[in-house]
Chains A and B, each alone.
Chain A
Amino acid sequence: MNKLENNKDPLSTFINSEMIEKAPDGFTSKVMAAIEVEPRHAQISHVKSERSLVPYAFAGFIIILMISSFLLPKGNDPLTSIVLNLIKRLEITLPSFDFSRLDLITLPGWIPYMIAGIVILSVFDRALYGLFHRREK
């Protein structure tokens, strides 16, 4: 806090810290009454922040799995063999897909054009929405 060159400053004869405008009566209670409505908002934001953590948690889990696939030793070390034996004991059978049937499907020639058209129209629609939404604001 300072008051530089007050003696040379003619404005300081008109303004001083004792001349502050005080808040009206009941100001604190008005603010507190407005805050009473706030906890709902705070709870919502708390839930939202928890929800936003979900994708991060999954991303972290996937990264850990990817890193572990590189770091875990290959070959017949005891830990890997135990895990593999456990998986074998579960006797899981994965479904097998026959992709050869896909070759038999023949699509009409206009389908790719239609898909491209839908994509272009969607982008155009989003652009228009964004433009008008901004104007509304």
Chain B
Amino acid sequence: MERKDDILYIEQVLSGKINAFSYIVDRHKNRAYNLAFRICGNHEEAEEIAQDAFMKVYRSLSGFKMKSSFATWLYRIVYNTAISHVRSRKIRVLSLEDFPADATDFLSAGISEEEADRDYRNSLVNFALQKITEEERGLISLYYYDEMSTDEISDVTGISRSNIKVKLFRARQKMIEIIEKVEKKKLIYHE
């Protein structure tokens, strides 16, 4: 159903109804933004990347093959735009000390314990994501946030299915290691 709706709106845009593109943007903006954010790790840049990706989609909409999935095509553009964006900027290596030791003090912000825990986990994941390569970040994001299969990730990234499994395994191991280190540091801080 979703795919049919995408095609319907694409056909409307191609027939000259430019406003129909806003429905496409609305439907996919959060997923596109999330992928861009997880790869670049910065809200301002993520917005810029996602906007840039939608502009690219608009410009090459006439070249889109209606038989294929629009979401996969869009994610491919977002993924490639984000990867090239990150590669073009100066490298900044985060150390373990960069993770705020008082990151668990979300409760002081007047939110529930559940929300605080969720926010803490989210910031922990973001920190760990920044310690792995941009390609690995993209794979992790597509696998966990978008719940894509390795076949779908392969379509988006152009990496072979077997290679994705290997890269995902390595990225996962790295992230768990980082998270465990941060958790240990947190225990020391609170003792």
Contact = CB atoms under 8 A, between A and B. Distances in A.
Interface of A: 1-3, 9-12, 14-17, 19-24, 27-28, 30-32, 34-36, 38-39, 41-42
A130 B161 CA distance: 40
Contacts of A15: 125, 140, 144-145
Interface string B104-136: 000000000000001001101100000000000
Q: Determine chain A's interface SS by DSSP, over half rule.
A: helix
Contacts of B175: 11
A12 B144 contact: yes
B66 interface: no
A43 to B, nearest CB: 12
Contact of A17 (B18, B29, B58, B146): B146
B125 A27 contact: no
A14 B118 CA distance: 8
Closest 4 A/B residue pairs (Cβ): A23-B33, A15-B144, A20-B34, A23-B29
B43 interface: yes
B74 interface: no
B146 A30 contact: no
A51 B122 CA distance: 53
Interface of B: 18-19, 21-22, 25-26, 29-34, 37-38, 43, 46-47, 50-51, 54-55, 58-59, 118, 121-122, 124-125, 140, 144-149, 152, 172, 175-176, 179
B25 A27 contact: yes
Given A1-B149, A2-B147, A14-B179, A21 B33 contact: yes
Contacts of B33: 21-24, 27
A12, A22, A35, most chain B CB atoms within 10 A: A35
Given A3-B147, A21-B37, A14 B121 contact: yes
A134 B60 CA distance: 26
Given A2-B149, A17-B146, A30-B51, A23 B21 contact: no
A40 B124 CA distance: 45
Contacts of A3: 147
A6 to B, nearest CB: 10
Given A20-B34, A23-B33, A1 B147 contact: yes
A38 B59 contact: yes
Contacts of A31: 21-22, 25, 29, 51, 54-55
Contacts of B46: 21
A16 B51 CA distance: 24
A27 B47 contact: yes
Given A22-B34, A28-B22, 16 more contacts: A3-B147, A11-B176, A14-B124, A15-B144, A16-B145, A19-B122, A20-B31, A20-B145, A21-B37, A21-B38, A32-B18, A35-B18, A35-B55, A36-B18, A39-B18, A42-B59
Contacts of A36: 18
Contacts of B59: 38, 41-42
